[in-house]
């Protein structure tokens, strides 16, 4: 009898517990598409005399709209799209006068989006020291010739870039791998000649072929990618000599880093191995020796290093 009463008490308690519970309902509110999206772009130093700015490359943006929770912006300069506040300053650091397609995705409730685009033309100037011009070009309008220093250990190398998803710290030395002397003979890299003039003209004497990633060659050089495989993605592309412009760029010195100077090619140019970048940081430069570094665009998770010598 006692056990029966205990069982009955437990059943009644459970019934009372569940009868006292009510289902909570959550709502997101009305799902509304963002409307009236607008981009106000003010180029720093813009005037009648300088319609594209004062050379700083700074643009002050204001993004506005209705029913907007956040703004995701692709600035059209190769950097990854990112969420930014509605008032935001951006420095465009491609040398010269460039036009960028700004694409703004306004995000509303429930992830509903609206997108607008606007072109912004910006002038960015970099004043390189005359000593660098002299060493790179020989102060010659005909140009100074450079080749990969195939006899040097580490004439090609690889190491971590700035944006490692695994948390590995960026380095400015090729800690992952360095090429042994003359170990890349089959790549066709050793017969390339790179000519820089003091008029900012670059000529790549290819010897009939180029060395780099096949998918990057398909993107920038020839979608048909005639040539042959070297190893996995690495490709020997059949390609003639070409000439284009180049310029200089730089990062100012800070408390933690020295001033950094870059060689920036207009469209196709690269040195040694083409990993997809047309921008090279000068790590070391003398009258006879040049050591450069570039990161892989789009991911920036790796860096390539090339040693060159003057002819």
Angle at 272 between CA 188 and CA 310, to 5 degrees: 100
* Best CA proximity match to 206, nearest among 289, 141, 270, 292: 270
Domains of the chain, CATH where assigned: 35-124 (2.60.40.10), 130-310 (2.40.128)
* Best CA proximity match to 297, nearest among 271, 274, 272, 269: 274
Element (H, E) at 224: none
pLDDT tens-digit map of 266-297: 999 999 999 999 999 999 999 999 999 999 87
Contact between 83 and 60 (Cβ < 8 Å)? no
Say how many C-beta atoms besides its own lie within 10 A of residue 225's C-beta: 18
User: Alpha helix locations (H) across the chain?
Assistant: 2-19, 130-137, 214-220
Contact between 41 and 114 (Cβ < 8 Å)? no
pLDDT along the chain (311 residues), means of 10: 44 47 54 92 94 94 96 93 96 89 94 95 90 97 98 97 83 95 97 97 98 97 98 97 94 82 95 96 98 85 95 96
Say how many C-beta atoms besides its own lie within 10 A of residue 270's C-beta: 26
Helix then strand count (H, E) for the chain reads 3, 20
- Global pTM reads 0.67
């Amino acid at each position: 009898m006692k056990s029966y009463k205990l069982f009955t008490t437990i059943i009644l308690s459970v019934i009372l517990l569940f009868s006292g519970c009510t289902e909570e309902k959550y709502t997101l509110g009305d799902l509304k598409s963002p409307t009236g999206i607008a981009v106000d772009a003010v180029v720093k130093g813009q005037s009648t005399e300088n319609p594209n700015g004062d050379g700083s490359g700074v643009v002050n943006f204001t993004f506005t709209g209705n029913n907007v929770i956040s703004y995701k912006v692709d600035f059209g300069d190769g950097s990854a799209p990112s969420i930014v506040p509605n008032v935001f300053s951006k420095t465009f650091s491609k040398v010269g006068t460039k036009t960028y397609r700004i694409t703004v995705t306004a995000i509303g409730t429930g992830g509903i989006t609206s997108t607008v685009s606007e072109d912004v033309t910006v002038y960015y100037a970099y004043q390189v020291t005359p000593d660098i011009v002299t060493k790179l070009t020989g102060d010659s309008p005909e140009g100074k010739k450079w080749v990969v220093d195939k006899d040097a250990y580490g004439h090609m190398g690889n190491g971590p870039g700035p944006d490692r998803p695994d948390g590995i710290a960026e380095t400015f030395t090729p800690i992952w791998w360095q090429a042994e002397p003359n170990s890349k003979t089959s790549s066709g890299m050793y017969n390339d000649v790179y000519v820089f003039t003091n008029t900012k003209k670059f000529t790549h004497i290819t010897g009939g072929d180029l060395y780099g990633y096949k998918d990057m060659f398909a993107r920038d050089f020839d979608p048909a990618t005639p040539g042959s495989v070297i190893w996995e993605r690495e490709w020997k592309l059949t390609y003639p000599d070409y000439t284009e412009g180049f310029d200089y760029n730089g990062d100012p010195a800070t408390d933690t880093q020295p001033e950094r100077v870059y060689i920036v090619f207009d469209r196709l140019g690269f040195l040694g191995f083409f990993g997809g970048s047309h921008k090279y940081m000068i790590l070391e430069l003398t009258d006879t020796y040049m050591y450069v570094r570039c990161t892989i665009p789009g991911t920036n998770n790796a860096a390539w290093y090339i040693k060159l010598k003057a002819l």
